[in-house]
Amino acid sequence: YEPRALCWMLVPETVSGLWKQRIRWAQGGQEVLIRDGLKGLKSMNPALYMLVFEQFFSLIWVYWIVISLLLAFLNSNFLDIYYLQYHFSIIILSALILTFINIVQFTVSLIIDSRYEKQN
């Protein structure tokens, strides 16, 4: 293992390229989950358990958010300002949860990468 290895990679340069890449990754993840999900659960490898559960719960989370937003929109009363103040809290709550998870992941990645970065 060489922690100082250099590599070259291509990254999407436009938002549409990034969108297409994310669609490919999501589709590939679901295809692997459908094809190999049971094999991963039957194996005795805890790392595979984590990968299968992460992919499965990501799928559940996406459907839950879409259904929740759809139900919130269908049940909303846009003419009542008090209704808007108190009943759209699920959108704010999900945004705060996503922000918190993003900050935690970013902090962990900085901690891990700090071991391999040159000290100035």
Q: How far apart are the two ends of the chain, measured CA to CA in Å?
A: 24
Q: Are residues 111 and 96 in the same domain?
A: yes
Q: Is 8 left (phi over 0), alpha (psi -120 to 50) or beta?
A: beta
Are 21 and 71 members of one domain? Answer: yes
- Count of domains forming the chain: 2
Same domain as 118, residue 68: no
Cα distance between residue 58 and residue 18, in whole Å: 19
Higher pLDDT, 37 or 105: 105
CA dihedral sign, ordered 14, 15, 16, 22: positive
What is the chain's alpha carbon radius of gyration, rounded to the nearest angstrom?
Answer: 20
Under the banding of pLDDT at 50, 70 and 90, the label for residue 11 is confident
* Structure letter (DSSP) for residue 52: H
pLDDT at position 106 is: 94
What SS3 class is residue 79?
coil
Q: What does the pLDDT look like over 14-49, one tens digit per residue?
A: 999 999 999 999 899 889 888 988 888 888 888 888
Q: What is the pLDDT of residue 112?
A: 86
* Position with higher pLDDT, 119 vs 53: 53
pLDDT at 120 over 60: no
- The answer to whether residues 95 and 65 belong to one domain is no
The length of the chain in residues reads: 120
Element (H, E) at 76: none
What residue numbers bound the domain in which 113 lies?
A: 77-120
Q: Is 90 a member of any domain?
A: yes
pLDDT tens digits, one per residue of 45-84: 888 888 888 888 988 988 998 898 888 778 777 677 666 6
State the Cα–Cα distance between residues 33 and 29, nearest whole angstrom. Answer: 6
